[in-house]
Amino acid sequence: MLLVVMFLILLISPDAKAWLMRQILSTGLLNSKIEERKSERNLPENNSVSVQNFSVIDDKGKIINISDLKGKVVFINFWASWCPPCRAEFPSIQKFYNQYKGNENVVFFTVNLDDETAKGKEYLLKEELSIPFLIPAGNIPKEYFGGSLPTTVVLDKSGKIRMHHAGMADYSKDSFYQQINDLLNE
């Protein structure tokens, strides 16, 4: 009977699902890895994806173009407030954000895809998350987002996609910070 009750709670409550998923994340099994930089002369022409025209709007109405951010490492996370895996990984994204928010060479695009943006803002306030609240300013190129939530993309300073991960992951690990530091030092 207890298992049935627990199953029903997990089935109904997004917060309960997020808690369970956070426990799975803590194992480190779902973590993604930033790809090594390959020698440009050894790469086929279409083996690397560069910055596509993509813009977001911040909560003050300012439009930010991703193509203007060359020279910076860009962390892009697509999420929605109703998405349990998004909720599960947010504490790690907040820790990652806190670690690098003072570094002007790291830019955070946490892009909300709720149909009603107010729900995304409410969720961030309720959970006391201070990550940037951004919404798309137009179409999202398929190189960045293919429809799975959450999706995380990391661009290197030249604007190439070095990590593309669909699904939840833990971004608060020292190993991930080292990968970001390596990108900053390239």
User: What is the radius of gyration, based on Cα positions, of the chain?
Assistant: 17
Q: Which residues are catalytic?
A: 83, 86
HSE, side-chain direction, 13 A CA sphere, residue 107: 20
Q: Identify whether the C-beta of residue 108 lies closer than 8 Å to the C-beta of residue 69.
A: no
Nearest to 74 by CA among 146, 144, 123, 178: 144
C-alpha triplet 57, 55, 145: angle, nearest 5°: 110
C-beta separation of 51 from 70 below 8 A: yes
**Do 34 and 154 touch, CB atoms closer than 8 A?**
yes
